[in-house]
Amino acid sequence: MNNLPVDLFYEEFGSGQVFIFIHGFPLDHTTWLPIANIMKEKVRCILPDVRGLGRSPITGTEATIPEMAADVIRLMDRLNIQQAVISGHSMGGYIAMEMAHTYPDRVIGLGLIATRAAADTPEKMAARLESRREVLKNGRASIIKSMAPRLTEQSALLPKLVRVMEKSDPRGIAMCQYAMVNRADATAWLKAINYPIVVAAGGRDVIIPEDELRQLSQELKDGRFYYSPVADHMLPIIEPELIARALLETYVKD
Ligand code: MLT
Tens-digit pLDDT profile for residues 47-105: 999 999 999 999 999 999 999 999 999 999 999 999 999 999 999 999 999 999 999 99
pLDDT of residue 4: 87
pLDDT of residue 30: 98
Ligand 1 atom nearest to CA at 24 = 3
Question: What's the gap in Å between 18 CA and the centre of ligand 1?
Answer: 25
Question: What's the gap in Å between 16 CA and the centre of ligand 1?
Answer: 30
Coil, helix or strand at residue 86 = strand
Could you tell me if the CB of 94 is within 6 A of ligand 1?
Answer: no
Could you tell me if the CB of 180 is within 6 A of ligand 1?
Answer: yes
Could you tell me if the CB of 112 is within 6 A of ligand 1?
Answer: no
Ligand 1 atom nearest to CA at 120 = 9
Give the mean model confidence (pLDDT) for residues 237-245.
98
Name the strands in the sheet holding 84-89, side by side, starting at the edge strand that comes first in the sequence: 10-13, 44-48, 18-22, 84-89, 107-113, 197-202, 223-228
Tens digits of per-residue pLDDT, 192-236? Answer: 999 999 999 999 999 999 999 999 999 999 999 999 999 999 999
* CA-based nearest residue to 243, from 227, 221, 229: 227
Question: What's the gap in Å between 5 CA and the centre of ligand 1?
Answer: 22
Ligand 1 atom nearest to CA at 207 = 5
pLDDT of residue 230: 97
Q: Confidence band (pLDDT; 50, 70, 90) for 253?
A: confident
Could you tell me if the CB of 207 is within 6 A of ligand 1?
Answer: yes
Could you tell me if the CB of 168 is within 6 A of ligand 1?
Answer: no
- CATH topology for the 10-251 domain: Rossmann fold (3.40.50)
pLDDT of residue 1: 54
Could you tell me if the CB of 24 is within 6 A of ligand 1?
Answer: yes
Tens digits of per-residue pLDDT, 116-171? Answer: 999 999 999 999 999 999 999 999 999 999 999 999 999 999 999 999 999 999 99
- Please, which residues have CB within 8 angstroms of residue 61's CB and are 6 or more apart in sequence? 136, 171, 174, 175, 178
Percent of the chain with pLDDT over 90: 98
DSSP state of 43: S
Ligand 1 atom nearest to CA at 128 = 8
For residue 254, pLDDT over 80 is answered with no
Coil, helix or strand at residue 220 = coil
Ligand 1 atom nearest to CA at 91 = 3
Question: What's the gap in Å between 90 CA and the centre of ligand 1?
Answer: 5
Question: What's the gap in Å between 4 CA and the centre of ligand 1?
Answer: 24
